[in-house]
Chain A
């Protein structure tokens, strides 16, 4: 290899490694100093400094999709409740995709938070949690009955145990760009309309955005889609019924919809992807909660007034939707502060109205008496965002078209496992990607589903 050190002119023209280090180091220091000197005041997290409290309570929950909710929860609700009950409450927020991992770790360690929040009922951890019946009874005494959606989601009729308590659920509308759909003379009233519009929208550079990935939103959208086609994972007696002609038809329909009106990106989506697809101005329709409209409103995106929300499109079997999120708290048997956790949960559910207001109508109370539909409708109608009154439809969606995962049966351990393993999005994706025929994909999925049901039946949970 030639030695180049005998060429001083060339050498001088270069920046030596030492120079580079010196300059880049100085740059890094300058960046740090300048950044730290930017004009912001520090608001530290310390609370109750120098005060001894009677008890502790640790809570883990997701980072809410409506940031205003977390602000209310952390800085108003928790603070006030902690002071009123003389309890030091510590809240940890983590990304929703990490909740299942964290739950598994806490169970394995038999140690963790006093209150564990998840976006779906954790029926498979029934043996690890207390029976939440006493909390539910207490709340019922104050605000009336536990909603049927919540009961079907958190109660195991076989063991007669409430394995969780839901404080809220979230209606799951279809969110669509009225300007784009209007431009092609269509609207997403039925799935046939969606299929008809999809190629035109894609050709115009605005594809449909229904995920087929291993994530929450794909799970919810596709299970609801199946139900609109008369395909159900189980019947009302919690017996698996996935393998049916209707399922095959639904899978074929979605594969065709993907080919004509979607992008391959849907196979790698995470729960925020469909929202971001819409925010980028590309997506023309997604199935999501109203965080998808609230963010464009708060960020003043140019098309925010053209985002409409409707109930899920009707299929051959009708219009049957799911909740988008079933907010459920569980108290582990190994929790250190069970009493505080129970008290906190009861109070939170009783004050469901505050949570609904703070979440800007994202959370609906699982105890309907805490904030009746009539009052919610009034609040929704008063929303100033355009088109006027667009959020009023949420109460209709909640009342008529929102069902539990596992409908017409209950949400049980088998459903929880199917949901957590993302078997349904996988079943769809295999066909859409041309890896399997619809018949084979449904058959393969059913064989796994049967095994899951058999396992949980043996354990006495179904």
Chain B
């Protein structure tokens, strides 16, 4: 019992400071979002202030915030679907390609993920323009998979590799087709990896800034990442409560999703990597 208590105490000693440090920005964000704007710079009102919903009201009624949220969500969902549609079969094929070819191809695909958007946005501008997608959300839907798919393939490849070949062989012997084995045997076992891809891809898309600021012009087509700094920072005037409210809102559902699938998310990241 003493040993167990010690074990738990040790875990808390390590975890609690981390939790405080990591949670504090969110706490601060939440507090500031309820502060009247005039009290943000007032050092005497750090904790004692009159909470207000005016900042949320401003966001919803005086900016295109709801539209930005809708745009971000729409782009995020479509990109996740495209990424899954491409990365699952690609990752599976690469995982089952034995020898050096599979490994090299996998690494080569992952390397494309490392090319930063700050280099790619110029050539991609021309592509987007030629396709007539300028200032349309479809420009982002076209471009974002260029960095989500390589990472997803690499992640899923590792995961598929960890699934014993014997499972599929058994399914094939039982009369399953290759596709059937993939759908009925491999995918259910790979669910943590797929969930990881979904969450990670969605987060990447929601956070992306460079392509969004480059390819989207009109206020109506902006995503949250572009709308917030453009409409809530007026020159040197930072509408801090508004900014905090704008960031807090999308971070709540994301945090909930992360929390709901935390165990699978960890398995997804570590499962393929260590086997």
Which one of A35, A41, A106, A272 has the highest number of Cβ atoms from chain B below 10 Å of its Cβ? A35
Judge whether B60 is part of the interface by a CB distance below 8 angstroms. yes
Q: Compute how far the CA of A36 lies from the CA of B128 in the bound complex, rounded to whole angstroms.
A: 35
A95 touches B236 (CB 8 A): no
Which residue from B215, B230, B260 sits with its C-beta under 8 Å from A94? B230
A110 touches B56 (CB 8 A): no
Contacts of B55 in A (CB 8 A): 35
Contacts of A70 in B (CB 8 A): 234
A36 touches B256 (CB 8 A): no
B249 touches A102 (CB 8 A): no
B57 touches A38 (CB 8 A): yes
Contacts of B213 in A (CB 8 A): 94, 98, 101-102
Closest CB-CB distance, B214 to chain A, in whole Å? Answer: 5
Judge whether A12 is part of the interface by a CB distance below 8 angstroms. no
A40 touches B58 (CB 8 A): yes
Interface residues of A in 6-48 (CB under 8 A from B): 17, 20-21, 24-25, 27-28, 31-32, 34-43, 45
Q: A48-60 vs B: 1/0 string, CB under 8 Å? A: 0000000000101
Which residue from A32, A41, A94 sits with its C-beta under 8 Å from B61? A41
Contacts of A95 in B (CB 8 A): 229-230, 233
B62 touches A21 (CB 8 A): no
Interface residues of B in 243-265 (CB under 8 A from A): 245, 249, 252-253, 255-256, 259-260, 262
Q: Which of A154-162, A190-198, A273-281, A388-396 contacts B (4 or more CB under 8 A)?
A: A273-281
B61 touches A275 (CB 8 A): no
Contacts of B56 in A (CB 8 A): 31-32, 34-36, 38
Q: Which of A61-69, A134-142, A199-207 contacts B (4 or more CB under 8 A)?
A: A61-69
Which residue from A67, A98, A271 sits with its C-beta under 8 Å from B237? A67
Q: Known contacts A21-B260, A24-B256, A94-B213: does B236 contact A108 (CB below 8 Å)?
A: no
- Total interface residues in chain B, CB < 8 Å: 46
Nearest to A20 among chain B residues (CB) is B259
Judge whether A5 is part of the interface by a CB distance below 8 angstroms. no
Which residue from B38, B235, B260 sits with its C-beta under 8 Å from A272? B235
Judge whether A105 is part of the interface by a CB distance below 8 angstroms. yes
Contacts of A120 in B (CB 8 A): none
13 contacts between A and B (CB under 8 A): A21-B260, A35-B59, A40-B57, A40-B61, A40-B62, A64-B234, A65-B236, A93-B230, A102-B213, A102-B214, A105-B214, A110-B129, A276-B238
Chain A contacts to B: CB under 8 angstroms = 2, 17, 20-21, 24-25, 27-28, 31-32, 34-43, 45, 58, 60, 62-67, 70, 90, 92-96, 98, 101-102, 104-106, 108-113, 271-272, 275-276, 279-280, 291-292, 295, 299, 301
Given contact pairs A24-B256, A63-B234, enumerate 19 new A-B contacts (beta carbons under 8 Å).
Answer: A2-B4, A24-B252, A31-B252, A35-B53, A35-B55, A35-B60, A36-B56, A38-B53, A43-B62, A64-B235, A94-B230, A95-B233, A105-B215, A109-B129, A109-B134, A110-B126, A272-B233, A275-B236, A295-B236
